[in-house]
């Protein structure tokens, strides 16, 4: 049965008493994330530097407008125009949330820019600028919030990856690298956060955002309503979510899990000398993903491949 055909559930996911920071919250996806969480009781810090798509310029007008929209609707919100690519800006953002609302429960890392160009023509400064906002911006804000979440033994981190990072796209090497790096960040810090009640997940959105419009996707605007993505983000931000380390793809009414997987591969007998010709002969089996599966962490994969590693570890303990 298609779950989308069932009766709509009663509204039970609420954020009363919770404080959420939404970076890039001044428009499109970020605005929808902020409005949805605010409508369900969260106090919101709307962060937006107010730049163009390429990161040029700055204005806090967009952040102020979204914060005002929340307040006018009876919610609690403040605006912030700090640059998350600057670690000091991230620290100020977290400090503002603490000063205004006393805690930080949710961080939605949504800020980003585009500087598309084919790899051979791309200036390295443009490559670095995109990484600085998407990847390092998320690192700066998450790290600044981490100590607060650890102290309160609760937190929800949502990173924004992309199908471009997961699958690639011509002319977006910088964007793809940054977005896939966020998956690696998630996979590492999810392990560190679990003992402190901090869950770290990622969203891979497909929506009619400013960035999507730049890729001529505005024709699909009616289908790709950002609000459909925000529903998934709100769930990942909630107490109802008990999962960590998930990449949730969402857009146009579709929701699915994306994973890095590894095939069963080929195991040679111990001591066998392996040649490049052997790899060529085994290639179809090596690359067959029929029985591929994800792993919780690198240790799980390695100990499955080499059980003696686990035995050695147990002996050491």
Active-site residue set: 175
Question: How far is Cα 101 from Cα 99, in angstroms, rounded to an integer?
Answer: 6
Give 157's strand partners.
Answer: 107, 200
Question: How far is Cα 122 from Cα 172, in angstroms, rounded to an integer?
Answer: 9
Chain-centre distance of CA 295, in angstroms? 19
Question: How far is Cα 81 from Cα 93, in angstroms, rounded to an integer?
Answer: 8
Give how far Cα 69 sits from Cα of 31, 37, 105, Å.
Answer: 10, 13, 22
Query: Can you give 24-65 as a three-state secondary structure string?
Result: CCCCHHHHHHHHHHHHCCCEEEEECCCCCCCCCCCCCHHHHH
The edge-to-edge listing of strands for the beta sheet with 106-109 is 77-80, 43-47, 19-23, 106-109, 155-160, 198-205, 247-251, 254-258
Question: How far is Cα 249 from Cα 258, in angstroms, rounded to an integer?
Answer: 7
């Amino acid at each position: 049965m298609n779950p989308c055909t069932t009766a709509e559930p009663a509204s039970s996911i609420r954020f009363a008493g919770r404080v959420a920071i939404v970076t890039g919250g001044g428009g499109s996806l970020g605005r929808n994330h902020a409005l949805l969480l605010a409508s369900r009781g969260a106090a919101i810090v709307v962060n937006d530097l107010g730049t163009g798509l390429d990161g040029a310029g700055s204005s806090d007008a967009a952040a102020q407008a979204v914060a005002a929209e929340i307040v006018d609707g009876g919610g609690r919100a403040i605006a912030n125009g700090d640059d998350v690519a600057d670690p000091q800006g991230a620290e100020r953002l977290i400090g503002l949330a603490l000063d205004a609302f006393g805690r930080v429960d949710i961080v939605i890392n949504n800020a980003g820019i585009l500087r598309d160009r084919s790899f051979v023509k791309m200036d390295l400064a443009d490559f670095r600028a995109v990484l600085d906002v998407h990847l390092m911006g998320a690192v700066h804000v998450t790290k600044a919030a981490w100590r607060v979440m650890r102290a309160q033994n609760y937190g929800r981190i949502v990173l924004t990856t992309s199908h471009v990072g997961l699958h690639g796209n011509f002319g977006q090497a910088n964007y793809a690298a940054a977005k896939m790096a966020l998956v690696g960040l998630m996979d590492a810090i999810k392990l560190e956060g679990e003992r402190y009640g901090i869950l770290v997940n990622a969203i891979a959105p497909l929506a009619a955002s400013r960035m999507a419009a730049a890729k001529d996707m505005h024709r699909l605007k009616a289908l790709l309503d950002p609000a459909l993505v925000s529903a998934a983000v709100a769930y990942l931000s909630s107490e109802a979510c008990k999962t960590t380390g998930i990449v949730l793809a969402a857009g146009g009414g579709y929701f699915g899990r994306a994973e890095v997987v590894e095939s069963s591969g080929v195991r040679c007998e111990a001591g066998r000398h392996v040649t490049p010709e052997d790899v060529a002969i085994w290639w179809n089996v090596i690359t067959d993903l029929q029985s591929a599966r994800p792993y919780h962490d690198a240790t799980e994969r390695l100990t499955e491949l080499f059980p003696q590693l686990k035995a050695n570890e147990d002996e050491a303990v």
